[in-house]
Structure 1
Amino acid sequence: MGITLKTTTGKIIASVALVGTAASVAGLGTFGAFTSTTSASQAVTAGTVTIALPAAGVDNTLNVPVTGLLPGDKVEKLVKLSNTGNSDLNTVTLATDAGATASLLTTDGTNGLQLTIENCSVPWTGTAGAYACTGTQSTVLANGPIITGTAKTLANLTALAATKADNLKVTTALPASADNTFQGLTSTIGFTFTATQRTAVSK
């Protein structure tokens, strides 16, 4: 009989201990903990890369048609090329194309039309055919066939810097070597200027 009482008492004590342990574990989730939070915000705006030509006028005579061109003649046109974006540029290229209007004027690389582009640090003065640079003059595109084939990289441009512009003189010439097969021919040449962004940097 004494053995039975001891055994029963032992079971009760053990049960109470287990219940007490479970209550202690459950209670861990109800205690508070120290926390701290902070935050910040960062505005990010992408830069703009924009190369532009003005509307037809004093600063853009490139769109004015040329007629009556004879062997040995040349025509000078003025155009202002501007970097109107807020980013510097790596390069500006020029591609020319005659499309469906191609003729010997644009397909004959030797006797056909030749193109030269020059830059002046100040606006050109004088009149067409005799424009003069009273500032610093530099070559942007050396003389060559008017159709560039692949795009050509233009040199000596101030417009590589954001908000800057260049005063370009575009000269189109028909070589004296052009023979009678060129008489009456016509072509329309498209000029496409393409700007590429500056080299990427870490800021």
Structure 2
Amino acid sequence: MGISMKTTSGKILASVALVGTAAAVAGMGTYGAFTSSTAANAAVTAGTVQIALGAPGANNTLSVPVGGVLPGDTVEKLVTLANTGDSDLNAVTLTTDAGATASALTTEAVDGLQLTIENCSVAWTGTAAPYSCAGTKSVVLASSPIIGANRALANLTALTAAKTDYLKVSTTLAKSAPNTAQGASSTIGFAFSGTQRTETVK
């Protein structure tokens, strides 16, 4: 026998019955779904960007002082530059500064000390200057004033991780050096800076 819709009480009972049916259907959807899950761990390690000058020795004479330089003289120093990190580099720059020891040797851009850097594919030979390259020689920095900031260095193999360059740093006192340079003394700081390779998608 059906529910009568003619009375108020009948309408209320019908509404309750419909709500109850809807709740039953909703309950079936909540508790009857299949599920599955999985997980994974992703390890990420940052690379290292590091360049280093070799320890003082036969192939690293950059810190050895030199005196008695006259106009036209050239001083040759050796230094190794190594990429000791595990990442390639995009560029290496050089900044030189005399700081509080600045003198006519360093403040005279044309008539003072001039800097040139060359690279040899193998260690330079010779127990003293002038040194010789038994391999392939290339120009890293063309002749320019001894003092400069963020100068780009060319022809370096140390842009590649674990590679080493054999550099010869030549400093020449211009033949036109002024009288004020006589007896002058300066200590030049060399700062090499490496920049990481261009970012990529891994």
SS in 2 for 1:22: helix
Tell me if 1:139 matches 2:139: yes
Q: Residue 188 of structure 1: CA displacement?
A: 1.1
Question: Against the structure 1 CA distance between its residues 8 and 22, is the aligned structure 2 distance closer, same or farther, given a 3 Å change threshold?
Answer: closer
For 2:49, give the aligned amino acid. Answer: V
Q: Contact 1:75–1:128 (CA<8 Å) still a contact in 2? A: no
Could you tell me which residue of structure 1 aligns to residue 161 of structure 2? 162
- Any unmatched runs of 5+ in structure 2? none
Instruction: Point out the structure with max Rg over C-alpha.
Output: 1
Cα distance between partner residues in 2 of 1:160 and 1:35: 52
Q: Residue 59 of structure 1: CA displacement?
A: 3.4
Tell me if 1:81 matches 2:78: no
Tell me if 1:90 matches 2:87: no
Cα distance between partner residues in 2 of 1:201 and 1:189: 37
Cα distance between partner residues in 2 of 1:151 and 1:12: 92
Kindly report the root-mean-square deviation, in angstroms, between the aligned alpha carbons of the 2 structures: 2.0
Tell me if 1:44 matches 2:13: no
Cα deviation, 1:37-61, whole Å, max 9, x if unaligned, reads: 2222221222221111123223321
TM-score, normalization: structure 2?
Answer: 0.88
Q: Contact 1:77–1:128 (CA<8 Å) still a contact in 2? A: no
- Any unmatched runs of 5+ in structure 1? 1-6
Cα deviation, 1:141-187, whole Å, max 9, x if unaligned, reads: 11121112x32111110011111110001111112322432111111
Tell me if 1:124 matches 2:124: yes
Structure 1 stretches of at least 4 aligned residues deviating more than 6 Å after TM superposition: none
Could you tell me which residue of structure 2 aligns to residue 180 of structure 1? 179
SS in 2 for 1:151: strand
Question: Against the structure 1 CA distance between its residues 132 and 8, is the aligned structure 2 distance closer, same or farther, given a 3 Å change threshold?
Answer: closer
Q: Residue 138 of structure 1: CA displacement?
A: 0.7
For 2:162, give the aligned amino acid. Answer: T
Q: Contact 2:94–2:192 (CA<8 Å) still a contact in 1? A: yes
